[in-house]
Amino acid sequence: MISDRLEGVWERSAVAGVKPREMLNVHITLQSAIILLQTGEMMALAFLGYGIPSRGNTLVIAVLLFLQGLSGMSYGFLLSVY
């Protein structure tokens, strides 16, 4: 979002009629997809690559990792706004 503002993409999109809410939704959707891929890669590397044992449900581990990524993304968006 910072690079969008610095390069003028934000202003061009606003002039074209794109609402700020729509821009934010696109950023959140794309970043969530990237976080989902990174979560899968981290789990595959940890459990299959390094052979780290896991106790408990793997789905819960994946959800917690995904939520941690989302919280980092939200904090980054907060910093980019101010």
* Tokens 């891929």, residue located: 37
Amino acid 1: pLDDT: 65
Q: Give residues with Cβ within 8 angstroms of 72, minimum separation 6.
A: none
Residue 43 and residue 81 in contact, taking contact as beta carbons nearer than 8 Å: no
Tokens coding 56:
């408990």
Q: How many residues does the chain have?
A: 82
- The pLDDT tens digits for 38-72 are 999 999 999 999 999 988 899 999 999 999 999 99
- Look at residue 11 in the predicted model and tell me its pLDDT: 79
Q: What pLDDT is attached to residue 45?
A: 96
d(CA 27, CA 29): 6
